[in-house]
Amino acid sequence: MVTRILAIDDSRTIRSLLTQTLQNAGFEVSTAVDGVDGIEKFRHEDADLVITDVNMPNKDGFEVIADIRGGTRNRTVPVLVLTTESGAALKERARKAGATGWIVKPFDDEALVAVIRRLTGAA
């Protein structure tokens, strides 16, 4: 079965890069332009994994995770935080919000795909 990934990022460039990388790896990708759009899409699509940026207009990435974890539908979906920040503070916040993992921008294609495979069990 194809693994479906929802990528939420307000940067068009990052969205395109993610789409390209993930599609090349054989995943099915849909994108959302901010947190509100992301949650809307999440509720109507059955994502196997969500990738979200942190700093976004309307609703940030941590709020997105809180919404996902606080809802009923697909609430235990793996969520990867994609961010330029790194370090303990970020990890702490991501952990608190309920993120499954984090990837630091700029991301390495292979590492990202490997992490997704690991978190979703995709072949």
| Residues that bind another protein in the complex, under the rule CB under 8 A | 10-14, 16-17, 20-21, 33-34, 36-37, 40, 43-44, 53, 55-58, 69, 71-79, 84-89, 91, 95, 98-102, 105-109, 112, 115, 118-121
**Minimum distance from CB of 105 to another protein (Å)?**
5
How many angstroms separate the CA atoms of 45 and 11, rounded? Answer: 21
Token digits of residue 92: 């702490």
β-sheet with 49-53: strand ranges across: 28-32, 4-8, 49-53, 79-83, 101-104
Start-end of H helices in 25-106: 35-44, 61-70, 88-97
Closest separation in Å from C-beta 28 to another protein: 18
Contact between 95 and 7 under an 8 Å Cβ cutoff? The reply is no
* Nearer to another protein (CB atom), residue 27 or residue 107: 107
Distance in Å, CB of 26 to another protein, minimum: 16
Rounded to a whole number of angstroms, the minimum distance from the CB of residue 21 to another protein is: 6
